[in-house]
Every structure is written in structure tokens, then in C-alpha cells.
């Protein structure tokens, strides 16, 4: 009887049983810490690779060469990840001068098999901004009306000096054409596209100059009738324009309409409001005198762009 009571009180085997029962969750928690650390290191590796690939793609992105930018990104992923790159799901997107790379993969677990967890998913994202600058501008005149001579110019600033890189002109010929609004000739001809090379610059703006007699500087209208007859003159009265409208002048910027929207008075529109790098054609319309409901100088503009030599490319996410 005494031996039986001692046997009942004996706890020497309980520790082993308890340890055996706790072994599985203990291994699970220990494995979770180890496997999470491994997954975290792998995620950091993927994030660094995604960041490098996004920057590389943004440095060559021009707004219309998505395939070229994507090839650059994939080359960087291959260089940074080696054979691991073949096991990674890659999603590449471009929008609004940004390139975005999403990587998805997984890492195998070492200890979490006991919890029926053979792998852990990993995903990262990287977005890089590719500031684009127009390098050429293709302009096609749609229609021009009015009695006044008008000249639209593209002005760039290089080394502090303003340079005219392109002009399109309208000279009035008939005061009654186009339902009494006047008509004339253009240079280049209507519907004839002309491409201007913008080159390198630190600033760009558009300007329209107006001369009220219908003729360019150094010429005067020698007719008092319906038709305009421009003849050369040395008179100082015809040696300057009557008004000049500029997109960098808050007082006159509202004379330009872009895609049917009037630029706000008092503003200084960013470059991409004037020449968008979305590889699409946009419409411009200038109002020469203030009759906002019906503009006078209509043309289409399409810009070819490039990244700004990579100096302003940066990660945004």
C-alpha cells in the first residue's frame, strides 16, 4: 500500500511528458522566428532589386517606349537576382511619367513544416519618377482667322539667353473671309506638319505676337479695301508689334487654350501643360484680343520627349 501511494505521488516522468507535448508548438514558434527572419532578408533583397530596376527603367523612359524601359528593368533584375529572377513574378507599368515594378515570390521555410507551412509569400513594389522634357515639337496648323497678323513662337532659354526655335505665322489677306472674321495665309501651310528641334534648355514658353494691320514687321497694309496688301516699309510705325502674349506672363497666359481649356489668368503653367509627354496629340488655340468664346489661331502639337539625362530620376515609393 505504501509503495502504491509513492507511485501515485511520483512526478519524475511528468516533465518528459509535458516537454513532449510542448515540443511541437515550441519548435513552431522558434521556426516562425527563424523563417520570418529569412523571409525578411529575402524581402529586403527583392526590394533592393526592384528599386534598382525601377530607377534603371525610369532613366531611359520617354513616355512612349514602355517596352524599352521594361527590358532595361528586367536586365537589372537578372543582374541583381541571378537565377532567382526566373522564379519571380514581375509586373511592369508606366503612367504619368512614372514606372512601377511589382515583384512577387516566395521563400521556403526550414522549421515551419511542423505547422504545415512549407513556404512564405513575399511581394514588393517600387515606383520611380522619370521627369521628361520635350525635345522636339511637331506642329500642324488647323485654322487661323482674324484681321490681324499673328506669329506664334516657341522660345527656349539656354545659358540665360532666350532662343527662338520655331515660329508659325499668319498674314491676313481678306477681311471678309470666314463669315466676316477675316482670312489669310499661313507659314507653314495649313495641315502641313513641321517639327522643331528644341535642343537643350532650362526654360520653355510660348509667345504670340500681333500686328493690327494684318502684316508682319517691316510691312504695312497698302489697301483700304476688303483685301490686305502687304508692302515693305521703313517707317518706324510698322517696326513693332502692337501686342505680345506669353505663357510665362501671368497677365497674358489666359490667351491660350489647351485642349479646349483656358489657362488660368495669373498663373505660370508648368511645361507639361504646354507640351505633354504622353505621346498624344493636343490642341492649342490662341485668342488674339479677348473674345474668349471664339479663338483665332488653332494648331495641333505633339511632343517627343526624353528623360532629363537621369539627373532627376528618383524613387517615389
3-state SS of the chain is CHHHHHHHHCCCCHHHHHHHHHHHHHHHHHHHHHHHHHHHHHHHHHHHHHHHHHHHHHHHCCCCCHHHHHHHHHHHHHHHHHHHHHHCEEEEEEECCEEEEEEEEEEECCCHHHHCCCEEEEEEEEEEECCEEEEEEEEEEEEECCCCEEEEEEEEEECCEEEEEEEEEEEEEECCCCCCCCEEEEECCCCCCEEEECCCCCEEEEEEEEECCCCCCCEEECCCCCECCEEECCCHHHCCCCEEEECCCCCCHHHEEECCEECCCCCCCCHHHHCCCCCCCEEEEECCCCCCCCCCEEEEEEEEEEECCCCCCEECC
Between 137 and 60, where is the model more confident? Answer: 137
Of the listed ranges 43-47, 112-116, 226-230, 279-283, the one predicted with least confidence:
112-116
Q: Rounded to whole angstroms, how far apart are CA atoms 91 and 44?
A: 18
Binned at pLDDT 50, 70 and 90, residue 7 comes out as: very low
Binned at pLDDT 50, 70 and 90, residue 110 comes out as: low
Q: How many CB atoms lie within 10 A of CB 11?
A: 8
Is residue 153 within 8 A of residue 167, CB to CB? The reply is yes
Q: Rounded to whole angstroms, how far apart are CA atoms 28 and 18?
A: 16
Tell me, what's the pLDDT at 90? 94
Q: Rounded to whole angstroms, how far apart are CA atoms 52 and 76?
A: 7
Is residue 155 within 8 A of residue 172, CB to CB? The reply is no
Tell me, what's the pLDDT at 13? 54
Tell me, what's the pLDDT at 205? 95
Binned at pLDDT 50, 70 and 90, residue 232 comes out as: very high
Is residue 51 scored above 50 in pLDDT? yes
What is the average per-residue pLDDT within 39-51?
88
Binned at pLDDT 50, 70 and 90, residue 111 comes out as: low
Inter-CA distances, 287 with 110, 210, 246, 303, Å? 72, 11, 12, 22
Nearest to 95 by CA among 61, 46, 136, 50: 61
Q: Rounded to whole angstroms, how far apart are CA atoms 191 and 141?
A: 6
Domains contained in the chain, CATH given: 2-130 (no CATH), 133-307 (2.60.40)
Is residue 22 scored above 60 in pLDDT? no
Q: Rounded mean pLDDT of the chain? A: 85
Full-model pTM: 0.67
Binned at pLDDT 50, 70 and 90, residue 239 comes out as: very high
Is residue 216 within 8 A of residue 151, CB to CB? The reply is yes
Residues with Cβ < 8 Å from 218, sequence gap 6 or more? 232, 233, 234, 238, 239
What is the average per-residue pLDDT within 103-119?
71
Binned at pLDDT 50, 70 and 90, residue 140 comes out as: very high
What is the average per-residue pLDDT within 212-220?
94
Between 30 and 83, where is the model more confident? Answer: 83
Is residue 106 within 8 A of residue 94, CB to CB? The reply is no
Between 260 and 15, where is the model more confident? Answer: 260
Tell me, what's the pLDDT at 154? 97
List, for residues 167-210, the tens digit of each pLDDT value: 999 999 987 766 667 889 999 999 999 999 998 888 999 999 99
What are the grid coordinates assigned to 221, written together?
497694309
Tell me, what's the pLDDT at 198? 94
Is residue 285 within 8 A of residue 294, CB to CB? The reply is no
Q: Rounded to 5 degrees, what angle do the CA atoms 219, 224, 230 make? A: 20
What is the average per-residue pLDDT within 79-86?
87
Amino acid at each position: 500500500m505504501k509503495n502504491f501511494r509513492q507511485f501515485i505521488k511520483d512526478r519524475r516522468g511528468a516533465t518528459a511528458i509535458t516537454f513532449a507535448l510542448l515540443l511541437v508548438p515550441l519548435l513552431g514558434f522558434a521556426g516562425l522566428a527563424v523563417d520570418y527572419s529569412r523571409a525578411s532578408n529575402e524581402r529586403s533583397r527583392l526590394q533592393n532589386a526592384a528599386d534598382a530596376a525601377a530607377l534603371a527603367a525610369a532613366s531611359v523612359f520617354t513616355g512612349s517606349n514602355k517596352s524599352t524601359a521594361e527590358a532595361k528593368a528586367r536586365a537589372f533584375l537578372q543582374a541583381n537576382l541571378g537565377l532567382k529572377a526566373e522564379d519571380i513574378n514581375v509586373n511592369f507599368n508606366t503612367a504619368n511619367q512614372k514606372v512601377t515594378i511589382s515583384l512577387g515570390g516566395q521563400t521556403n521555410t526550414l522549421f515551419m513544416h511542423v505547422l504545415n507551412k512549407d513556404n512564405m509569400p513575399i511581394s514588393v513594389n517600387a515606383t520611380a519618377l522619370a521627369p521628361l522634357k520635350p525635345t522636339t515639337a511637331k506642329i500642324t496648323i488647323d485654322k487661323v482667322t482674324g484681321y490681324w497678323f499673328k506669329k506664334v513662337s516657341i522660345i527656349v532659354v539656354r545659358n540665360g539667353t532666350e532662343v527662338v526655335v520655331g515660329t508659325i505665322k499668319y498674314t491676313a489677306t481678306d477681311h471678309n473671309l470666314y463669315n466676316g472674321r477675316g482670312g489669310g495665309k499661313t507659314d507653314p501651310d495649313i495641315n502641313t506638319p513641321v517639327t522643331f528641334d528644341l535642343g537643350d534648355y532650362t526654360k520653355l514658353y510660348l509667345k504670340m505676337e500681333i500686328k493690327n494691320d494684318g502684316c508682319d514687321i517691316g510691312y504695312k497694309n497698302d489697301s483700304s479695301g476688303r483685301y490686305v496688301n502687304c508692302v515693305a516699309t521703313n517707317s518706324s510705325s510698322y517696326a513693332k508689334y502692337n501686342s505680345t502674349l506669353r505663357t510665362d506672363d501671368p497677365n497674358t497666359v489666359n490667351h491660350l487654350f489647351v485642349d479646349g481649356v483656358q489657362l488660368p489668368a495669373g498663373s505660370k503653367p508648368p511645361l507639361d501643360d504646354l507640351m505633354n509627354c504622353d505621346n498624344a496629340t493636343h490642341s492649342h488655340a490662341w485668342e488674339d484680343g479677348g473674345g474668349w468664346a471664339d479663338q483665332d489661331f488653332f494648331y495641333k502639337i505633339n511632343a517627343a520627349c526624353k528623360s532629363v539625362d537621369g539627373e532627376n530620376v528618383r524613387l517615389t515609393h
